[in-house]
Amino acid sequence: MGEDNPSWDDIGFQMAKELLAELRKDVELTINNNKVVNNSRVVAIGEQKLRKIDEILNWKGDV
């Protein structure tokens, strides 16, 4: 395998990041919908999930 070819770990991590980016959109929609109906508990839980998703998406790994 050459230097230019990504490892299976890199491919898997990229796929996971793409999935999390899609899930983030669903969580944002849930937050916005619950802000409209003034459900602060669901909004708080959703915001907590967004922070966790963002933490993973911004993770650099062992560089």
What pLDDT, in 10s, does the model give residues 21-46?
Answer: 999 999 999 999 999 999 999 999 99
Total tally of structural domains belonging to the chain? 1
Flag whether 51 is in a domain. Answer: yes
Alpha carbon of residue 35 to chain centroid: 20
Flag whether 13 is in a domain. Answer: no
Flag whether 57 is in a domain. Answer: yes
- Phi/psi zone of residue 32: left (φ > 0), alpha (ψ -120 to 50 degrees), beta? alpha
Which of the four pLDDT bands, split at 50, 70 and 90, describes residue 6? Answer: confident
Q: Which residue has the higher pLDDT, 39 or 59?
A: 39
Which residue range(s) make up the domain with 43? Answer: 21-63
SS3 state of residue 38: coil
Flag whether 4 is in a domain. Answer: no
SS3 state of residue 30: helix
| pLDDT(1) > 80 | no
Flag whether 63 is in a domain. Answer: yes
Flag whether 55 is in a domain. Answer: yes
Flag whether 27 is in a domain. Answer: yes
d(CA 21, CA 12): 14
Percent of the chain with pLDDT over 90: 62
**Residue 31, φ and ψ in degrees, nearest 5:** -60, -50
When pLDDT is averaged across residues 4-30 and rounded to a whole number, the result is 89
